[in-house]
Structure 1
């Protein structure tokens, strides 16, 4: 069912009565090491990717202190360097970050808190030095790769319009040669819709066995998507069905995130009641200046007419707990909860998505207080339908 915008919103939002149990634990910390990206992908949501703002590592102890002085930390913390191209900074930056993390989390790790570092990169800068850095600091690598050269280069280009595929593949080969494991995230655009078997064969033949699909979204400064419309949704349904069939034929060499998530929920016979994108402080995002936000990382420091920049404060001056009393958070949480209730009341897929993602609701409906989006049909409904149909067909 299609979510609708409310006809009117109150000028003053009633307090959301947030309880500590409504929040966290913080499982993912997204840090924008730098806003700069060496690519200029035409579907990117970030507004300042041509500017070189850098997160000052002198702030990292403060950031960690903000987390551990709050009631929101838990048994696991994944730190993701993202939102820009993190490898435009030198390996020494992450060596220093790792040193600081080890120093300031030693007591917690001794108590059993598990801390991991991740990096999401376009791989165009990866060389032996970077592989050594990943290995000595135990950094888990994610690579952005959209598939074969023509499909990838249709959108993922340098500012001089030269395609990035050749350098990305060179970086992937370097990772493989040095035994650095990685997973890939592919943005699915209209360019891939007619070639599901070719997409599958590309990942299989290049030994890329952990893959996630992010369907191109209307988001941030990217206000239009080539994947909008019901015709595209039917194409994507066929695309995923073909990908499943090819994968099954070969013994499932590729773990596709979308299939694995649905299978996990079906096999566990337990449905979601919420997700980390709409639960306060399940995710904490921090930009290069130290400004922080929660919910979707894609909301961080993005200016909006309705909510402002989504930021809740700066780690230098505001605690995470104090930020929940601010009017900005109260309005976000009020609308997020109302939107989740709409989803819960009206959508049969709620147990598979837990109420959707606020960024998609905002960019498609202009408010967090909305339900179904084009994005949730691609990310949840269609994968669920395809997996259930395939399992039923295979008996």
Structure 2
């Protein structure tokens, strides 16, 4: 069921210095941190992977920078000598010259979470409920002053065409290297409904595609995926291999602060259910990631998810693009893993593809796809 993987997500701390309205993390107020023993175990597990190609190691919290440079640096040091590409996803509030030197010296790719304009970033607040927009923007500027490329990821709670235009204009004006867009999801401790009018969400993606086409200076992650799929179909025909989704599932092992490993959906880390218990498939302190990925196929919840994928494949015209959606969205929206279409599917897959087809003409599709090469 699982594809080979060259990526791993590490959660070095559960603590976050912010209290964003839509956050899904259950332990963000607790300071539970990863030990070097866990990091060394991960490094030992991925060492065989690095013999074939570089492995992406994504540090994602919590807020990784809340650990401080010395402690996070000690975890990074566990991977010394391995062919890995480190990436950090941060809220940007703590970024200063010291952190910029840290990222430069260690060749770290930096992603910053910000939702666009000041008004659109209003849900990002600190523990006192104060807006952090100015602090995030200051962090982005500091990173750019040090010559670092910055990717941003935005959470969009009101996916309207006007919001799409504002968001792309913000990204272009900030001079970021890329933009990722997550329509707010109902998952984890965020129980807010993510149901939206389908035509409105489709128009959001169409407007984003149009804005990018008019000024293609910032690659947009979701548009690149959709354009790549459309280009694949136009050139070669859909045969189930586009994006490598329909042929299998990326395990994307996520290692928690304590070494527990959750597969496929990082958003399931730290959660359990009455039917399945803990979603973790084991602990890297006791088993290698390869062994955990192999045994994870036998997990009861993974088996239920596999049944859901089969149902999607049989019933959904968008399966070859979507690949069947994410298990966390199924579970937190529907309470099970073998359901089919979710609000996440409608907002971030179906509406995305339809919006791109609406917002970019045939010539634009070809040009957009070629620009990725």
TM superposition score normalised by structure 2: 0.88
How much has 1:311 moved relative to structure 2? Answer: 0.8
**Post-superposition offset of 1:353:** 1.3
Take 2:273 and 2:300, find their aligned partners in 1: how far apart are those partners? Answer: 13
Confirm or deny that 1:297 pairs with 2:276.
no
Distance 1:391 1:171 in 2: 34
Which residue does 1:215 correspond to in 2? Answer: 183
The whole-number CA distance in structure 2 between the counterparts of 1:276 and 1:351 is: 6
**Aligned equivalents of 2:108, 2:352: Cα separation in 1:** 30
- Length, aligned pairs only: 358
How much does 1:187 deviate?
A: 0.2
Q: Is the 8 A contact 1:343 1:355 kept in 2?
A: yes
1:91 deviation in Å?
1.7
Q: State whether residues 213 and 360 of structure 2, in contact with CA within 8 Å, keep that contact through their aligned partners in structure 1.
A: no
Equivalent residue of 1:292, what SS? Answer: strand
* Equivalence for 2:371: none
Distance 1:181 1:322, change over 3 A: closer
Match of 1:95 among 46, 70, 73: 73
1:35/1:278 Cα in 2 relative to 1: closer, same or farther (>3 Å)?
farther
Q: Is the 8 A contact 2:160 2:203 kept in 1?
A: no
Mapped partners of 1:277, 1:189: distance in 2: 32
The aligned runs of 1:39-118 (5 Å cut-off) are 39-68=18-47, 75-103=53-81, 105=82, 109=83, 115-118=84-87
Which residue is equivalent to 2:232? Answer: 268
Distance 1:200 1:96 in 2: 37
Residues 177-212 of structure 1: CA distance to partner in whole angstroms, max 9, x if unpaired? 111101000000128664332222222222234101
The answer for unaligned runs of 5 or more in structure 1 is: 1-21, 110-114
Deviation, structure 1 residue 392: 3.9
Residues 120-157 of structure 1 show CA distances to partners (whole Å, capped at 9, x for unaligned) of 0000010111111001101110110101112102x111
Shift of 1:74: 5.8
Q: 2:157 aligns with which of 177, 185, 189?
A: 189
Q: Hey, what's the Cα distance between the residues in 2 that align with 1:217 and 1:193?
A: 19
TM-score, structure 1 as length reference: 0.83
> How far, CA to CA, are the matches of 2:98 and 2:132 in structure 1?
20
1:142 touches 1:183 (CA, 8 Å); kept in 2? Answer: yes
* 1:242 corresponds to 2:207: yes
- Structure 1 distance, partners of 2:95, 2:140, is 8
State the distance in 1 between where 2:243 and 2:100 align.
39
Paired with 1:47 and 1:176, the residues of 2 have a C-alpha distance of 32
Aligned 8 A contact 1:278 1:295 in 2 = no
Aligned to 2:356: 387
Q: How large is the Cα RMSD of the aligned pairs?
A: 2.6
Map of 2:130 onto structure 1: 162
Offset of 1:260 from its aligned partner?
Answer: 0.5
Equivalent residue in structure 1 for 2:195, among 228, 237, 261 = 228
